[in-house]
Amino acid sequence: MNQPVGRWSGKRVAAVLGELAWFVATIALTFLGLLAITFFIGRVVPIDPVLAVVGDRASASTYEAARVAMGLDRPLYEQFFSYVGDILSGNFGMSVSTGRPVIVDLSRVFPATLEMATIGILIGVALGVPMGVLAAARQGSWTDQIIRVFGLLGYSVPAFWLGLVGLALFYAQLRWVGGPGRVDIFFDGLVPHITGLMLVDSLITGQVDVFWNAVSHIILPASILGFFSLAYIARMTRSFMLDQLGQEFVTTARVKGVPEWRVIWRHGFYPIRIQLITVIGLSYAGLLEGSVMIETVFSWPGIGNYLTTGLFNADMNAVLGATLVIGAVFIVINKVSDVLYRVLDPRAR
């Protein structure tokens, strides 16, 4: 009796190891493709990285010396292999804008974006999922129409306009929230950089006044991001729910007298929770990579603002480094969503 079990365990272990190897290989190949795209983008954009370093008044000899030092005189394939090696070793180059290594800059600006996007997706999920369920449960009613119009606004209203209106109303007029930046100038630099998350670091160091000041600054931009994710999540939840509530087993449950709340949440919502994982993951990745406008309007020192500043200053090391981080995060979130999908749905395994 033990031998078949052992053979089954060996096959199962081999299958798991094979899936793990395929998972790692997929991530590696995707990341390699991302490296190739960012490398060739850096070569085709109409920005001369040498001029960004030496300036447009440098002599021809200085320009050529800088070009050789940066390795731009070598063949393109050698530059690419050198680029991949540098990235894998954590060398993203020096930023022309800040004069610091790009990896150091990214370690300081990415947590700010992560903090704001995380609060935004929590708002989007907490409000978007119930709104989508409610709209589907009351299809065609005025409640459904209001939720659909609300979601349509999330797709059509420009982010920069909504940010400016929010600042003018809630900050300049009503004084309900803090202004641009992560904290007031008075609190700037008081919290040591531990995790990079201002809310977490201020609580760890016991600076409650800085924490509440940071909350007042982050609530408005995070709510705007949450509004955009809410629109997408509510729309997809409604679509999934309508499809599920139209199934025959749901009709059978209603005929048998099952309470409506149980029909909606048990027979309607429970099966679609797996699909929502992918939707929420994509929305979260979108907030991390698409918050450039919000960060610019609110002077938020995140990766989007860093990327914009790098573009204006022809700082290609900063631009490519930020693009790589955003792309890598998108890859990781998608892969995590796939893993959760397979864990929760046996049919996908």
Domain boundaries of the chain, sorted by first residue: 2-88, 102-348
3-state secondary structure of 94: strand
Give the pLDDT confidence of 150-201 residue by residue, as tens digits.
888 888 888 889 999 999 999 999 889 998 989 998 888 888 888 989 999 9
pLDDT for position 113? 92
Residue 208: the pLDDT is: 92
Backbone angles phi, psi at 313, to 5 degrees: -95, 10
Neighbours of 307 (CB within 10 A): 25
pLDDT value at position 6? 47
Q: Distance between CA 212 and CA 202 in Å, rounded?
A: 9
What pLDDT is recorded for position 16?
67
pLDDT of residue 345: 64
- What is the per-residue pLDDT for 347? 59
Q: Which segments of the chain have a pLDDT < 50? A: 1-7
Compute the distance between CA of residue 54 and CA of residue 68 in angstroms, rounded to an integer.
13
pLDDT digits (tens, 9 = 90+) for 248-271: 888 888 888 888 888 888 888 888
- What pLDDT score does 217 carry? 94
Question: Using CB atoms within 10 A of its CB, is residue 76 exposed (0-12), middle (13-18) or buried (19+)?
Answer: exposed
Q: What is the pLDDT of residue 134?
A: 92
> What is the SS3 assignment for 101?
strand
CA distance 18 to 125: 34
Q: Which amino acid is residue 171, in one-letter code?
A: Y
Distances from the Cα of 217 to the Cαs of 106, 168, 290, 309, in angstroms? 21, 14, 19, 21
- Cα separations (Å) of 283 from 133, 143, 222, 269? 18, 24, 14, 19
CATH number of 102-348: 1.10.3720.10
What tokens appear for 34 in the block?
């991302």
pTM for the whole thing?
0.83
Q: Check if the beta carbon of residue 313 is closer than 8 Å to that of residue 96.
A: yes
| Residues pairing with 101 in the sheet | 94
Neighbours of 119 (CB within 10 A): 20
Residue-wise burial string across 222-254, b where 16 or more C-beta atoms lie within 10 A, e elsewhere? bbbbbbbbbbbbbbbbbbbbeebbeeeebeebe
Q: What is the pLDDT of residue 330?
A: 83
